[in-house]
Amino acid sequence: MSNRWSKLVHYMLSPVPCVLCGAKCKAQRSLCGACFAELPFLSANACQVCALPLFFQGKSSQGKTCGRCLNSPPPYKKCIAAFDYLEPVAHLVQSLKFHGKLAYASLLGSIMADSFVDQIDVLPNVIVPVPLHRTRLRERGYNQALELSRPIAKKLGVPIDITHCNRLRPTSIQSLLPADERHKNVRGAFEFDNERKFSRVAIVDDVMTTGHTINELTKTILQSGVTEVSVWVCARAPLH
């Protein structure tokens, strides 16, 4: 056996510590079965459009769409989220985003891919990770949305495009702003060049809260001639 292959076999068979409890796990993922089972996977009782929890299940023939989406449909077709934004996912996302834990992107991204695969009717032409402004990208050194996109792109066989979508100005971090300032903060923040004439795009991001950033990027992409935008996020946070 070549040195490379023996290293690979050794790697595959070696127990790795679970990122949450430290228990040894042989799974390809660095998460033990018990911790995986405890993850806050998105409730089945979520709006099929915006992925927020449905508090009332009526007999409406319109299916499981929340009142907010019925009254004022968002610009995207559908938001798919792997998790509710609860612990320990919140910790993993924050560590990925602010503390350089890039390994968490492959863990979370591969779980996202597995949970999305049955929920996607028609694959998009391309995945567009929500871009960071170049100043923040320089500070952080990576874009967590792109890192989450990689395992998804691989599993679904959809390419990632990071060259035709830009954040034009350095916006404040949305979660630090009061809700009424978030829309203003991201207005006109993006550009998208649909040079390759895509018709279906999936936006990938780590967390979706009020949706102002995602809505703004969706509108920008739709203005370029794309006909359908889906949103794939790791976690959906409640509005308040």
Query: Which residues would be at the binding site for Zn ion (CB under 5 A)?
Result: 18, 20-21, 23, 32, 35, 47, 49-50, 66, 69
CB neighbour class for 185 (10 Å; exposed up to 12, middle 13-18, buried from 19): middle
Please say which residue, 27 or 173, places its beta carbon nearer to Zn ion.
27
CB of 70 to Zn ion, least distance (A): 8
Those residues whose C-beta lies under 8 Å from the C-beta of residue 116, and which sit 6 or more positions away, are 80, 82, 152, 156, 232
Nearer to Zn ion, 64 or 183 (CB): 64
Shortest reach from residue 113's CB to Zn ion, in Å: 21
- The distance of closest approach from Cβ of residue 220 to Zn ion in the complex, given in angstroms and rounded to an integer, is 21
Least Å distance between CB 238 and Zn ion?
12
- The nearest distance, CB 49 to Zn ion, in angstroms, is 4
Spatial contact of 89 and 40, defined as CB atoms under 8 Å apart: yes
Residue of 88, 104, 123 whose CA lies nearest to 232: 123
Which residue's CB is nearer to Zn ion, number 24 or number 140?
24
Contact present, 64 and 53 (Cβ < 8 Å): no
Specify the residue, 3 or 71, whose C-beta has the smaller distance to Zn ion.
Answer: 71
Question: What are the angstrom distances between the C-alpha of 73 and each of 67, 76, 181, 197, 220?
Answer: 9, 8, 21, 25, 16
Q: Which is nearer to Zn ion, 21 or 117 (CB)?
A: 21
Measure Cα distances from 185 to 41, 167, 180, 182 in Å. 30, 12, 10, 5
Q: Phi and psi at residue 178, in whole multiples of 5°? A: -65, 150
